[in-house]
Amino acid sequence: MSDLESLPEAWEVWSAEDDGRVVLAYRPDVFDGEEFPAACLPTLYLTHGKRTRRPGTNPTDRTLEQDWFVTFYLEPDVSLNETNRFETRAEGLERTVELARQFDDGEIDYRALYQVPREEYFDRLDNLIGSDAAES
């Protein structure tokens, strides 16, 4: 089972709550508003219950409140388009660490998640990660 000690070095535990919620940030040292835009800080959330209440969801759905969710944001309005819902925190944490590793290894095609291409930013992010996601 994965735990936070097995995170890639580029990821930092931004917060870890007593209730089990965790927020991870990718290279906050460079997403400082100068080198990279602070709003573009890649962030992983492990939450008990759905983190956001988007249109079409029922906030009183007890099933959603009991499960653990992993959400990966590249920016506030850009996220990985997959449902990561788990019955246990351990399963959610394992997926959180796996996504962190995949991003760090250049295995996530983040370019495909943007509706409006940002080629210059993508090139800089490719260099930071050490991959060429454009070839994916």
Can you say whether residue 27 is alpha, beta or left, with left for phi > 0 and alpha for psi between -120 and 50 degrees?
A: left
**Cβ–Cβ < 8 Å for 2, 97:** yes
Average pLDDT on 1-24 reads: 90
Assign 24 a pLDDT band (cuts: 50, 70, 90).
very high
Average pLDDT, the chain: 85
Place 116 in a pLDDT band, splitting at 50, 70 and 90.
Answer: confident
Q: Is the pLDDT of residue 83 over 60?
A: yes
- Whether pTM exceeds 0.75: yes
Calpha distance 18→60 (Å, rounded): 23
> pLDDT at residue 59 above 80?
no
